[in-house]
Every structure is written in C-alpha cells, then in structure tokens.
Amino acid sequence: MTKEKINKSRRRLIQSAGTLPIAVSAPVAFSDDHQKNYKKHDAFSLDEIYPRWKTDSAKWDLQTKRFPGQKIHAAMGIADLDFRTAPVITEAITKRVLHENWGYILTPDSYYDSIINWLKKRYDEEISRDQLLLATGVLPAIQSAIRAYCPKNSKVVLNSPGYSELYVNIRKAHCIPDESPLIKKDGKYHLDFDDLSKRLGKDDVYAFLLVNPHNPTGNCWSKNDLKKVADVCEQKNVMLFSDEIHCDFIAEDSTFTPVYSLDSEAAKKKAVVFKSTTKSFNLSAFKTGYVYAHDTDVISKIREAGHVEFANTLGVIASEVAYNHAEKWLNQVSSYINENMILVEEYINKEIPLIKFNRPQGTYLAWIDFKTWMDAIDAKSNAEKRGENKGDYMERHLVQKSGIQLGRGYRFGSGGENYLRMNVGTSRVLLKEALERIKLAAKKI
C-alpha cells in the first residue's frame, strides 16, 4: 500500500468530517480571540471547535434527545475529549481500514509490549506479560475482578461522591455498592480513614474500589494516603482495586502516585490496577483496557472468573500507536487542560459568585458547587413538584437559560447533590463561550 494511498484516505476521512454541521456559534469577542491565537501556539489545533453533532456522540447527540427543541451551545457532561485525535492514530487506523478483512485477530505481542513500555517509561512501573491482563474496557475489567473476589450480595466499598458507572457495575457484578463518604475540608476532599476502616472490617466486604485521580472530585491521593489505604486493606483482608484511568491528566502543580509503585508489601499483595488508553488518548469508542498486579495469582484468579480478554482490531491498533507514538499529543492536551482549569477557576471566582469551584489535582472534570444557585431558584421544591431530583431541575434550568449542559452531581452518589460536573476537555474558545453564557444566566437570577 503506497503512502499516497494512505494520505488520500486520510484526507477523505478528514474532509467528510469537515462537512458535519457546526456545533456552536461563538460570540464575536471570542471569535476574534480565536482567530488571533489559534495557529500561533497550537500544533494539534486544540483551540479549534471540532464539530461532533450528528456523529452519534454520547456527549453531544444524547443531549438533543434529552432536551428536544432546545438549542444547546455546548454539551459538557460526559467524559470524553472534543479534540481531533492524534494524527498518528488516524493514520494507523486509515492504513488498517484499507485492508478489507475483519476476521478474528491474534493479539500481537507488540500490543502487550506497547503497554509494558508505556508503564515503564511514564510511571517507572516494571510489569511482565504474566502480570498483565487485557480487557474490553476498565469497567468490564472491574466487573471481572469483583466477580473473582466478591461473593454475590457482598458489599464493595467505594468513595462517595463517586463515578456513577462504578455503582452500576458493582450491581451488575451482583454486589452492593457501600459508600464511604469523602470529607470536604477547606475546599479539598479527604479520605475518611476511620469510616473506611470500619466498613472494610465488615464480614460481607471483600474489596475497596479506589479511584485515583478521583472522578468526580479530581483528587490525587498522596503516597501517605495510599500506604494507609493499602495497610487497612491488608489488615481487613480485602482487595484494593485501583481505577487509574484518569492518571495522564494531572495538574502541573500536583503529583499522581501509582499504587503499583508504592514501597508497601500490603499494596504489592492487595492492589490491582485498572487502566486504558480510553481517557488519555480519547479512544473510548474502541473498548480496550487492561489490568495489572504484582501477584500473578491475582491475574490468574481474575482470568479464571470468566474475564473477557479479547481486544478488537482497531482498538489494538489505535492503543498501540497511541502508546508508542502519541505522547507528544497527550502532553500537549494535558497542558492545555491544565490551562483550561486555571481559566475556569479564575473566571468562576471573579465573575460567577453564585457558584464555587476549586481547581482539581487531576482529571479534566470540574466539580462545581451550584448550591447557592439551586437555592436561589428553589430547585428542591420545584423539583419535588415535578417528581424529580433538584439536580435534574438545575441541569434543565441551565440548559434553558444558557444553552450549556453539565453533568448532574447527584448521579455520583451522596455528596454530589449540590454539584454539576463540567468537562473542560474542549476548545478554549468554546469553554470561554460556555463560561460567558453561564455568567449571563447567573446574572438574571
């Protein structure tokens, strides 16, 4: 296959995407800014508002179904990125698409190697092939681990607020989510070790599902936190499942500690890590992921509990090329997100007193306190009259008044009731427009 042929296909793919309807209409002030800054600093065109409407995007197209007839300027709830993927990924996929056969694949050694090399290069983690298990995503892998270790109807402890799908997947594995509430102090979230210790010591608990960096609060748990967590897990003889899917998005003034690298015998015995290229390279459509642990018996036990290890062809190609050749793209996106978060924090503190926000240590998710706004519009009693949650009322109110859709915090369990979650993994031009629109809506309250 010639290079010219591949380039031609790539151009075709890109051109067809260019004909999709434009997602937003930016106010004039932002458009000017956009034109001035876009090409100057942005090797991967991150400032570009890349249209995603009518592509069956869960983040965008679901919202037009949920709010029929309502003009939505920006959908900022679901956690994926709005940017074009790294060009090397498009190239690799395009090349494979030209081979017109989609039979079963033999997962190549090079795919395993790309994961092992990435973990070594980026996190200094030494992993061998027998410590690694492929998966069709982080959530299916977590389900497998729960099925392997937690009997039916036992409890799996997780922190609340916590990512909504974790609750769903614990239930799908026939277990019960048991919330250990995070403590919020001075604008920061902390683990409650007394509560954890009590819960993990119960007879019907076999696992603690930790998320690091944490979704939705964005906390990165410190080395000390992790050591204490591992010790409690060992003392109570429960597994420590560590979902580190967001680990490649860390604020420039924060540190992420992978549990696998801890100098802790307890962590080496009990910790199981779940990761994927899903968040880092925005490849959630491809359904890939992986699990690793120090103890190879843990890997065998998860495999034997019926875990599905298959990978799909394009997922393997995209993930492998991402790990081998797209780190520059990831670093640029991560740094762009860091700046977006700073912008959001400064803007909210200065311009929107009805809401409160402290920049997170990791993730591209801004967990924003809307309590004052909810109170000002009587969200609770208005919602009760309609038989809904006040978060539903607040979300709809914001969509109607500003055209901006954010994720409802109550869906993240207890502690989320007063929050909405904004995904800042988008063009800064669009982000500024969203903030401006939210400010204008707040001013009318």
Q: Contact positions toward ligand PLP, by CB under 6 A?
A: 79, 137-139, 163, 211, 215, 243, 245, 276, 278, 284, 289
CB of 289 or CB of 403, closer to ligand PLP: 289
Q: To the nearest whole angstrom, how small is the minimum distance from the Cβ of residue 136 to ligand PLP?
A: 8
CB of 217 or CB of 402, closer to ligand PLP: 217
- What are 12's two structure tokens? 């075709």
Name, in order, each residue with C-beta under 8 angstroms of 331's C-beta and a sequence gap of 6 or more.
none
Q: To the nearest whole angstrom, how small is the minimum distance from the Cβ of residue 306 to ligand PLP?
A: 17
CB of 211 or CB of 429, closer to ligand PLP: 211
Q: CA angle 162-121-214, nearest 5°?
A: 10
CB of 139 or CB of 173, closer to ligand PLP: 139
Q: How far apart are CA 166 and CA 173, in angstroms?
A: 11
- Closest residue by beta carbon to ligand PLP: 137
CB of 82 or CB of 243, closer to ligand PLP: 243
Q: To the nearest whole angstrom, how small is the minimum distance from the Cβ of residue 107 to ligand PLP?
A: 17
Alpha helices in 239-278 (DSSP H): 265-270
Q: How far apart are CA 220 and CA 319, in angstroms?
A: 25
3-state secondary structure of 76: strand
Q: To the nearest whole angstrom, how small is the minimum distance from the Cβ of residue 112 to ligand PLP?
A: 18
DSSP code for 277: S
Q: How far apart are CA 216 and CA 61, in angstroms?
A: 22
Report whether 247 contacts 212 (CB < 8 A).
Answer: yes
Q: To the nearest whole angstrom, how small is the minimum distance from the Cβ of residue 316 to ligand PLP?
A: 15
Q: To the nearest whole angstrom, how small is the minimum distance from the Cβ of residue 278 to ligand PLP?
A: 4
Q: To the nearest whole angstrom, how small is the minimum distance from the Cβ of residue 312 to ligand PLP?
A: 13
Q: To the nearest whole angstrom, how small is the minimum distance from the Cβ of residue 138 to ligand PLP?
A: 4
CB of 144 or CB of 427, closer to ligand PLP: 144
Report whether 146 contacts 207 (CB < 8 A).
Answer: yes
Alpha helices in 211-263 (DSSP H): 223-236
Q: To the nearest whole angstrom, how small is the minimum distance from the Cβ of residue 168 to ligand PLP?
A: 11
Taking residue 260's Cβ as centre, other Cβ atoms within 10 Å add up to: 23
CB of 211 or CB of 420, closer to ligand PLP: 211
Report whether 171 contacts 146 (CB < 8 A).
Answer: no
- What are 77's two structure tokens? 């709830």
CB of 94 or CB of 282, closer to ligand PLP: 282
CB of 243 or CB of 417, closer to ligand PLP: 243
Beta strands in 196-303 (DSSP E): 205-211, 239-243, 271-275, 289-292
Side by side, the strands of the sheet bearing 155-160 are 132-135, 289-292, 271-275, 239-243, 205-211, 155-160, 176-181
Residue type, 99: H
